[in-house]
Amino acid sequence: MSRPKMTSLHPEKTQRIYKLPELIIQQGHQIQKSKLQGPWIVKGKRARAESTNPVQDRPHEHTHGCPSPQARMGGSEGDTRNSDDQKDDIPVENYVAQRYIENPYLIGGRKFDLRVYVLVMSYIPLRAWLYRDGFARFSNTRFTLNSIDDQYVHLTNVAVQKTSPDYHPKKGSKWMLQRFRQYLTSKHGPQAVETLFRDMDNIFIKSLQSVQKVIISDKHCFELYGYDILIDQDLKPWLLEVNASPSLTASSQEDYELKTCLLEDTLHVVDMEARLTGREKRVGGFDLMWNDGPVSREEGPPDLSGMGNFVTNTHLGCVNDRKKQLRQLFCSLQVQKKASS
């Protein structure tokens, strides 16, 4: 049987992103009144200081805000060298330009994005786990497009928000995903929320599949990714970026507990003690969502004919009774081991 295909991402759910050389950005003002009507976010090397998170980048109207090649090279307007020589001397630096989502979903008038954790144990075949917990990161200032250069309005990163005059260190600026899912359910109903989270599942899998053939796959390695997802007013998810080795710094006690449990469960899935059978669909807070094909919530081999009643084995934002599950899992494994000895 051929492997079933995941539903393809709809074009309107895929954020428009371009990888631009520096000189094109410098010349952007010449075309900004045509097809590149802003605002846009431009990310360069300086945005990769912490888990490729663009904490220093701000939305730019069209393509303004990049330093000139002369300024970067220490040159001047009066430089008399041949223009071709100047071009050869200018180092090529790539930027990523993303169209800014102008209609984000707001809670209390404030913008937020979601941090979701995905553990990849193998790329060939693709084997990926989704963590049940995560958080929503909020800005401390009410959202408006009238102040496009105000980073406290548009950037939700804690590294930015903690410098805001309104930031409260004890309260922080995060919601756990369970609270966020409950809020959406009370506002929009369970069916709309299920659709939203199913669309996010699709983003996780499609993004991993898109790099499956170019990332080196080593059975002795694993990678924990931090996905940043933005929700718009129509409850459509947008992938902002995928962070390798995401920051595990805690900004509150609740955040500390989430991340310590995340690390503990990551090591349980990695299973250096070789206690697992390899057939587990859940380990602690992690649910196996892809194992060289979609994983069903139901026990036994899934019926993939038509995929009509197929329900993916994901529980993002649901109850995470990880301690109880781990006790049951390891007790069951001990019983199996004794029975086979």
181-215: pLDDT as tens digits = 999 999 999 999 999 999 999 999 999 999 999 99
Write the pLDDT tens digit of every residue in 99-108. 888 899 999 9
User: Regarding predicted confidence, which is higher, 192 or 336?
Assistant: 192
115-128 average pLDDT score: 96
What is the SS3 assignment for 132?
strand
Residue 228 main-chain phi, psi, to 5 deg: -110, 120
The tokens describing 13, both together, are: 């759910």
Residue 1: pLDDT band (50, 70, 90) is very low
> Apex CA 230: angle with CA 29 and CA 161, to 5°?
80
Q: From CA 189, how far away is CA 232, in angstroms rounded?
A: 17
Of the pLDDT bands very low, low, confident and very high (cuts 50, 70, 90), residue 43 is: confident
Q: Are 230 and 104 in contact (CB under 8 A)?
A: yes
- What's the DSSP call for residue 29? G
Mean pLDDT, residues 42-56: 45
At residue 23, the pLDDT reads 44
pLDDT band at 49 (very low <50, low <70, confident <90, very high): very low
Give the per-residue pLDDT at 36: 59
* Contacts of the segment 143-147: beta carbons below 8 A, 24+ positions apart: 143/104, 143/106, 143/109, 143/110, 143/111, 145/39, 145/102
Residue 269's pLDDT band (boundaries 50, 70, 90)? very high
Q: What is the pLDDT of residue 144?
A: 84
Q: What is the mean pLDDT of residues 127-148?
A: 90
Give the Å distances, CA to CA, from 255 to 71, 89, 226, 305: 42, 47, 14, 41
Predicted confidence band at 217 (pLDDT cuts at 50, 70, 90)?
confident
Is it the case that residue 157 has pLDDT exceeding 70? yes
Rg (alpha carbons) of the chain, rounded to whole number? 23
% of the chain residues with pLDDT over 70: 70
Q: Band the pLDDT of 20: cuts 50, 70, 90.
A: low
Which amino acid, one-letter code, is at 102?
A: E
| 213 vs 265, more confident | 265
Cα(32)–Cα(8) distance, integer angstroms: 31
DSSP state of 7: P
Q: What is the pLDDT of residue 87?
A: 57
Residues β-bridged to residue 60: 40
- Find, among 147, 154, 148, 70, the residue nearest to 112 by Cα: 154
Please tell me the distance from the alpha carbon of residue 241 to that of residue 230, in angstroms, as a whole number.
10
Beta bridge partners of residue 239, listed in sequence order: 229
Q: What is the pLDDT of residue 17?
A: 57
Percent of the chain with pLDDT over 90: 48
- Residue extents of the structural domains in the chain: 96-340
pLDDT for residue 155 is more than 60: yes
Q: What integer pLDDT is reported at residue 70 of this predicted model?
A: 34
Strand partners, 127: 122, 291
Which tops the pLDDT comparison, 82 or 26?
82
What is the arithmetic mean of pLDDT over 67-72?
33
Q: What are phi and psi of 74, to 5 degrees?
A: 80, 15
pLDDT of residue 99: 82
Query: Can you give the pLDDT at residue 299?
Result: 72
For the chain, the average pLDDT equals 78
The CATH number of domain 96-340, selected from 3.90.550.10, 1.20.120.1770, 3.40.50.300, 3.30.470.20: 3.30.470.20
Helices 177-188 and 190-210 cross at an angle (nearest 10°) of 130
So what's the pLDDT on residue 220?
86
pLDDT at residue 125, rounded to an integer? 93
Asked whether residue 267 carries a pLDDT value surpassing 90, the answer given is: yes
